[in-house]
Amino acid sequence: MLIFLLVSGLVHAGAVQPEKAAVQPAAAAVSIRDHGAEGDGSTDDTSAIVAAFSAVCTSGGGRIRIPSGTYIFNPAAASIPICSDLVVQGPGTLKVKPDAGNYRAIFEPSPPEAEVNNVTFTGISVDQNTFSNTAATIDVGDVGTHQRIWQVFAGTNLHFENMRLYVSGVNPIDVNGPTVSGVYVNRNHIVFQKRAGQPEFDNSSIYIHGDNFHVTDNTFVSTAADAARTAIEVHSGSGSVSGNTIDQFSIGMNLVDLKESSITGNPGRNAGYGITLWSTTVMESVVI
């Protein structure tokens, strides 16, 4: 493995915050099947899925279950609303409808700028169905085409755990804002795929701009043909990145303006750069 460290700022040992427990509301889980989702891999379940999430969020949060099955969803028609005090659990799969076209994000608050706290996604699979969405073209300058899975601009105690994700867009897990804190991305299997004919674009499978981040024990996989740019990009806060395995990304990790952070035990291969560090203000108390 080749690792190139592009360092701006001071690098020292630092502290890491312990992981907070995921929130588990006491109420019984609401199944998306309760709202009419079929999960047969062919029925368009968009309306049923949106209805289930909307009902739980209107009631102030709770647990949503995605049972076994493949649930077809069209994010170009509607995004799935998320809110505070929400737990979404598997083991089912959400799959983007073939030729859905351009879309901004699958999951986001309503409105998108709203703060969401105590959110957990665990045990589900999300397949962005990249190769069958020939009607979409990603343009980095147009957020309406970014094809994110999650877009969160404000919130605390946000968990993304134990999932299988087949991703295609600009920053598929995008948790990005000055008030973001307590982000836990743990034990996921993430495959980046690019549709044939889609021009190469800047992407980071995980993009976190906030404080107290923990990216742990994830596996990132792609191919040379998919032209994956970056597996993990974190900005501005403190936290840890450890135990991640990365294969066939141009850059394993971009670390920007960090403080009091630990970056340890992240094996990678088939990369131009293992780790890049850069700073627009200051980089301090970081151990690699």
32 secondary structure, DSSP code: G
Strands 105-109, 125-127: pairing is unpaired
- Look over the chain and give the mean of its residue pLDDT values, rounded to a whole number: 91
Residue 190 tokens read as 């993430």
Report the Cα–Cα distance between both ends of the chain, in Å, rounded.
15
As a whole number of angstroms, the distance between CA 42 and CA 93 comes to 12
Query: 181 has which bridge partners?
Result: 156, 211
User: Does residue 2 carry a pLDDT above 70?
Assistant: no
Q: Which CATH number fits domain 30-287: 3.30.70.3340, 2.160.20.10, 3.30.70.1400, 3.40.190.290?
A: 2.160.20.10
Provide mean pLDDT across the span 167-194.
97
Q: What pLDDT was estimated at residue 280?
A: 83
User: Does residue 22 carry a pLDDT above 90?
Assistant: no
Q: What is the pLDDT of residues 217-260, one digit of tens each?
A: 999 999 999 999 999 999 999 999 999 999 999 999 999 999 99
* Residues composing the chain: 288
Domain ranges for the chain, please list them: 30-287
pTM of the model: 0.90
Q: What pLDDT was estimated at residue 172?
A: 97
Single-letter amino acid code for the residue at 99: D
pLDDT confidence bin for 8, thresholds 50/70/90: very low
Q: What pLDDT was estimated at residue 159?
A: 98
Count other Cβ atoms within 10 Å, centred on residue 164. Answer: 17
As a whole number of angstroms, the distance between CA 82 and CA 93 comes to 17
Estimate to the nearest angstrom the gap between the alpha carbon of 45 and the chain centroid.
Answer: 22
pLDDT confidence bin for 187, thresholds 50/70/90: very high
Write the CA distances from 27 to 73, 92, 151, integer angstroms.
Answer: 26, 20, 26
User: Does residue 59 carry a pLDDT above 90?
Assistant: yes
Residue 245 tokens read as 């395995």
Contact 68, 91 (CB under 8 A): yes
Q: What is the pLDDT of residues 267-282, one digit of tens each?
A: 999 999 999 998 888 8
